[in-house]
Chains A and B, each alone.
Chain A
Amino acid sequence: MSGLSAEISHGIRGLFRRPGFAATALLTLSLGIGANTAIVSAARGIVFRPLPYPQNDRLVHVWAYWPGGAGNISFPDGVGIAERSRTLEATATYQSYGTVALTGRTPAEELHTSFVTPSYFEILGAAASRGRVFTRDEDAEGSSAAVAVLSHGAWTRRFGGDAGVVGSVIRLNGLAFEVVGIMPASFADLGAVEGPIPDVFLPTAAAARLMGQPPRTDSLRLYWGLGRLKPGVRLQAAQEDLDGIARQMEQERPETHRGYGLRVQSLSDRIRGGFTRPAFVLMAGSAFILLIGVANVTNLVLLRLADRRREMSLRAALGASSLRLFRLVFIEACVLAACGGALGTVAGVALSKAMSAWVFTNVSPLLDVSMDPIALAAAILCSTAAILLIAAVPAHHARAADVVAGLSSGARANLDGGGGKTRKALMALEVGFALVPLAAAGLMARSFNTLTHTPLGFETRRLLTFRMDLVGPRYQDPGARVNLADAFLEKVRAVPGVEAATVWGPSMLGNATWVVNVAPAGRPNDRPDAFTMLFRHSVSPGGLDALGIERVAGRDFTAADDARAPLVGIVSESVAKQLWPGQDPVGRQLVRSAPGLPPITVIGVTRDARHRQRYSLQDVADAGLIGGLGPQRDIYLPYAQRSNNGVTFAIRLADAGPAPVEALQRAVAGLDPDLPLSDVRFLEDRIADQERVPRALAGLLLGAALLAALLAATGIYGVVSQAVAQRTREIGLRAALGARRGHILRLVVGQGLAPLCLGALAGLAAALSLGRWLEALLFGVRGTDLSTFAFAALSLLVVALLAMIFPARRALAVDPGVALRAE
């Protein structure tokens, strides 16, 4: 038994001989290490893993800002950047928004589009897996090339993976396009950052023809910029370069570029920026679980060591040096921890796999959180550190075996002699570590509760929503779009079970927004900040009532508010208060920032309604105000006067039940058989979708917090339970001397209270500082919300006291006679 192998074998045998101890320790470690392994892997994927593009560290995303708003650039701006930039060696513009109808099938199917310049594929290092991508000529100004590249998903789903589709002609919105290529399955398209994975890639030159968009003018900002920095160029230099270009644009085209600026950020930040903070939060949560697990198992090993005091003394008496005793306990603890580590790593890999699939489907297909060798190595490194920590503390205690005390016939272990102070310190640490995720989970839960209970300002029940893209030659005339919408609404209102129906801007709580930059008429507006960006929604007469948005002043739209009538609008209360504080806005006019556009006369005011994405991680990443908080700056225009191609319909059903999709399809097919209904869903499902990320965050943190509390409770139970076992004789003696139940209870609970309170105080301090960092992720709750912290601390104390009750009951049941005889 002198060799290392003998001690390892003894350690393994010891595990089998004490299955309860081994199971508790292994479960604790598996949970801690498993959670940590999966989260480390996720964090690597989100924060550290390179993007799947060549020269990924040089890729940048370009967007624009202007007085009162920020967002896409226009196509000419993209061209301007490409021509003038000294820091970007390649640029591309792309828009991944909207759908086209795959016609010639019944019913027509919708395909999500991405209009890109050919350089887009070149910059991302992507080539078609079959066929080819576009050429520059095919995207040249005025090109009539009708070519399309299918995504791998669309090719397999819509075309059954038929290789013969390359070279064939498909009809999009009734127009013939030749499929020239198919992208590989591995191609991570940037369109997935803000919407569904595109089905079909088309040259930007085809957008006007296919979508009915105006030609490539400055007035239409629909594109994002993509660029690759020249070698050795830093982001800051690129920003300065773009600042100069924006200033030139402002001087050259002041009517469209007043106050205009360009922003550049790394593509990695664009794709992952929103997920960085949640990843760190989850990493912190899993680290706390691991730390509690480590403290717990260390405590368990220490408790067992206290039981083995006689053995350690005996070994010392038989000649074991303190180093040998250290080695013995260290190896035994290592065996235990390594088994837990191995189990935890296996669990972590499985968890990571499941998480990877979940993230791909539910969060973003561009995030690869799967396990890779580096993540696995990092996780194993964490586990090894944990193992060494677990092994070192008890081994250190084992060195100081007291032969005389340990072998005396009447010797009794007492807490301090068996590492009691260390165990109490570990207990305090466990409480402190558990309180941090508990407080964080409390904040997230309150945030989620606030999010889901903040009134949206309109009636969401039984509201079926869907989109139609009125594009192509047939709908180039705005009047044709209005006629189609009116005719469709008339048919829909006749469908049994439909209570009301309206056009409803682009809303549907999605990311897509239409904006208009306005200033009150009659005020000086030569300064860039004179204009305010409002979110624009197109509705039908009676639409606001159909949606349940309360009008507080003025009138609703009527059929007379058509294309021939002066442009009218209804503003939200926040707009009224901001632009005309203390005044009645009805009858006042708003002028537009773009020259030549007619003013809008305000005819009414509504209560604020939350139409847009209420909670977005991109807002968190941009350090902006989360959409659902603060004033809602909206303006409603009659669809008859502002008929966008992409139009959303909202149908209020009389009863809860399945959506009458077939009736709706029949209604639209009667008007245009090539027109598909897109994205048909009840609004409440969209709301649930929108709440998915904060719900997942709150849920994951809550799970981590409950696990932490459970582990801490187990640790406290173990310490107190062992203390009661070790003090049985003392308790029996006290009882024999007349101690009442209250005295015994105080004796048992009292010894745990000090570390509990100290741990809680330390945990509160840590939670307070972390809470400030968490604040950006919260909806309507401060990161330093004291009531949440107090509730978390109180909950943990209750859990801890409950964990003490069972050993305390055992102490109360000690029979003095039996306890004293046992000695």
Chain B
Amino acid sequence: MIELRNLEKSYPLAAGRVYVLRNITLSIAEGEFVSIMGPSGAGKSTLLHILGMHDGDFTGEYEFRAELVNKLKPRDRQELQKRNIGFVFQSFHLLDDLTVYENLELPLSYRDLKKSERQAIVGDVLDKFNIVGKKDLYPSQLSGGQQQLVGVARAIVAKPKLILADEPTGNLHSDQGREIMELFKKLNEEGTTIIQVTHSETNATYGNRVIRLKDGWLASGN
């Protein structure tokens, strides 16, 4: 699914370029559940943003499902991302002004689905995540765990092939974290590829592969 070849990311500074990612060559197959680990500043989140196609400013090659991302125009890259990738964030990043239903509907609205289709899909997801009763609540009316549950539901609502999760349990109690990780495992078993950034060895055990980064270099896991 994903092929990275000699991928590098750097920033220009007065004293020269500072490298955040160095010479990353990596393959991730469909159906994998990969955990990216490493100390702070190792380049985990940067790699996740590149994989998520938010950041196109890198060198090397990034191939996603046989398409060379680094050769795509920003608009095409965004289209590719919209079709294939869902995101889960550490801070949930739900929109405070929108209800649970509207938050779930948002990614679909950006995919230009008809209203009736959107209603059907969101209804299914609400049902699947057992949050039908919360659909009219605002994020501030939910607990942290419930918010992240909505966050995950939102990530899968557009049926992505890949979910990218940045510290998905970082802001949750351990019980809530466990529930979320179980949910990821279930989604993975249903066929969704998952890549998570985590500091937690326990969370990493839910996956089937760990990639370790150190000072921007791939330390292990290729």
Contacts and interface: CB of A to CB of B under 8 A. Distances in A.
Interface of A: 1-3, 6, 10, 13-14, 17, 310-311, 314-321, 324, 403-404, 407-409
Contacts, number: 61
Interface string B105-142: 11111111101001000000000000000000000000
A404 B106 contact: no
B90 A1 contact: no
Contacts of A320: 110
Contacts of B78: 319, 321
B135 to A, nearest CB: 13
A10 B109 CA distance: 14
A417 to B, nearest CB: 16
Contacts of B110: 2, 315, 318-321, 324
Given A1-B109, A311-B95, A403-B54, A319 B49 contact: no
Interface string B73-108: 001001001100001011101010110001001111
A408 B55 CA distance: 12
Nearest to B55: A404
A314 B52 CA distance: 13
B52 A317 contact: yes
Given A2-B110, A13-B97, A324-B110, A317 B54 contact: yes
Contact of B97 (A14, A310, A318, A319): A14
B156 interface: no
Given A10-B97, A317-B54, A1 B102 contact: yes
B213 interface: no
B111 A407 contact: no
A318 to B, nearest CB: 5
B93 A314 contact: yes
B102 A318 contact: no
Nearest to A17: B97
A315 B106 contact: yes
A317 B89 CA distance: 11
B102 A319 contact: no
A1 B109 CA distance: 6
B22 interface: no
Nearest to B109: A2
A314 B108 CA distance: 14
A404 B97 contact: no
A1 B111 CA distance: 11
A407 B93 contact: yes
Nearest to A14: B97
29 contacts: A1-B98, A1-B109, A2-B110, A2-B112, A2-B113, A2-B115, A2-B118, A10-B97, A10-B98, A13-B97, A14-B97, A310-B93, A311-B95, A315-B95, A317-B52, A317-B54, A317-B93, A318-B87, A318-B110, A318-B154, A319-B110, A320-B110, A321-B75, A321-B78, A324-B110, A407-B89, A407-B93, A408-B45, A409-B91
A784 B82 CA distance: 62
A174 to B, nearest CB: 83
Nearest to A317: B87
Q: Which of B54, B107, B112 gathers most chain A CB within 10 Å? A: B54
Contacts of B107: 318-319
Interface residues of B, number: 31
A319 B111 contact: yes
A235 to B, nearest CB: 62
Contact of A409 (B90, B95, B112, B115): B90
B162 interface: no
Contact of B106 (A1, A17, A403, A409): A1
A10 B103 CA distance: 12
B158 interface: yes
A405 to B, nearest CB: 10
A639 B111 CA distance: 95
Contacts of B112: 2
A14 B102 CA distance: 14
A248 to B, nearest CB: 81
Contacts of B75: 321
A677 B122 CA distance: 88
Contacts of B54: 316-317, 403-404, 407
Nearest to A408: B45
A639 B186 CA distance: 114
A324 B98 CA distance: 17
A319 B98 contact: no
A559 B82 CA distance: 107
Contact of B115 (A3, A13, A319, A404): A3
Q: Which of A315, A319, A404, A408 gathers most chain B CB within 10 Å? A: A319
A2 B114 CA distance: 9
A320 B87 CA distance: 14
Interface in B42-58: 45, 49, 52, 54-55
B105 A1 contact: yes
A58 B165 CA distance: 79
A600 B155 CA distance: 105
Nearest to A2: B109
Contacts of A10: 97-98
Given A318-B107, A409-B90, 12 more contacts: A1-B102, A2-B108, A2-B113, A3-B115, A315-B110, A317-B52, A317-B54, A318-B110, A319-B78, A320-B110, A403-B55, A407-B54
Q: What are the 3 closest A-B residue pairs judged by CB atoms, nearest first?
A: A2-B109, A319-B110, A403-B54
A134 to B, nearest CB: 74
Contacts of A6: 109
Contacts of A404: 49, 54-55
B44 to A, nearest CB: 12
Nearest to B87: A317
Contacts of A407: 54, 89, 93
Contacts of B118: 2
B158 A319 contact: yes
A383 to B, nearest CB: 27
A16 to B, nearest CB: 10
Contacts of B93: 310, 314, 317, 407
A324 B112 CA distance: 11
A102 to B, nearest CB: 73
A90 to B, nearest CB: 70
A324 B89 CA distance: 22
Contacts of B105: 1
Contacts of A310: 93
A206 B54 CA distance: 93
A1 B157 CA distance: 14
Contacts of B90: 409
A46 to B, nearest CB: 47
A1 B106 CA distance: 6
A408 B44 CA distance: 12
A436 to B, nearest CB: 39
A409 B167 CA distance: 10
A6 B97 CA distance: 13
A7 to B, nearest CB: 9
B115 to A, nearest CB: 7
Contacts of A319: 78, 81-82, 107, 110-111, 158
Nearest to B171: A409
Contacts of B115: 2-3
A791 B91 CA distance: 53
A3 B109 CA distance: 8
A403 B49 contact: yes
A542 B118 CA distance: 98
Contacts of A13: 97
Contacts of A314: 89, 93, 95
A643 B111 CA distance: 94
A403 B81 CA distance: 13
Contacts of A316: 54
A382 to B, nearest CB: 31
Nearest to B57: A404
A321 B95 CA distance: 17
Nearest to B102: A1
B153 to A, nearest CB: 13
A403 B87 CA distance: 12
A588 B45 CA distance: 105
B144 to A, nearest CB: 15
